[in-house]
Amino acid sequence: MKKFSQGNEDFRFLSAALMGITVVDSAVSGLGGCPYAKGASGNVATEDLIYMLNGLGLNTGVNLYKVMEAGDFICKAVNKTTNSKVAQASFKP
């Protein structure tokens, strides 16, 4: 399965879910990338997937605020900004 690129991952994930795919890769704050491809984006932000699933009425059992807290901690530790649209819009440490 191909990784989802940032920008339209919600639609891709929803399409995959409708086709029966139940496991996808994500990364807290959308961090990551490839050491061999300078500027490559990371996986879809875990926070954004959780938010979308919750919005569809699906219970992930994952505390979105706790994931955003972890993302904030990691981003500060590695001096990066979050790629999560949900965290950018709503997280207040």
Q: Active-site residue 34, yes or no?
A: yes
Checking phi first, is residue 30 left (phi over 0); if not, alpha (psi -120 to 50) or beta?
left
- Looking from the CA of 85 toward its CB, the CA atoms found within 13 Å total 11
Candidates 14, 21, 34, 62; catalytic one? 34
Amino acid at 26: S
Q: What residues are annotated to the active site? A: 34
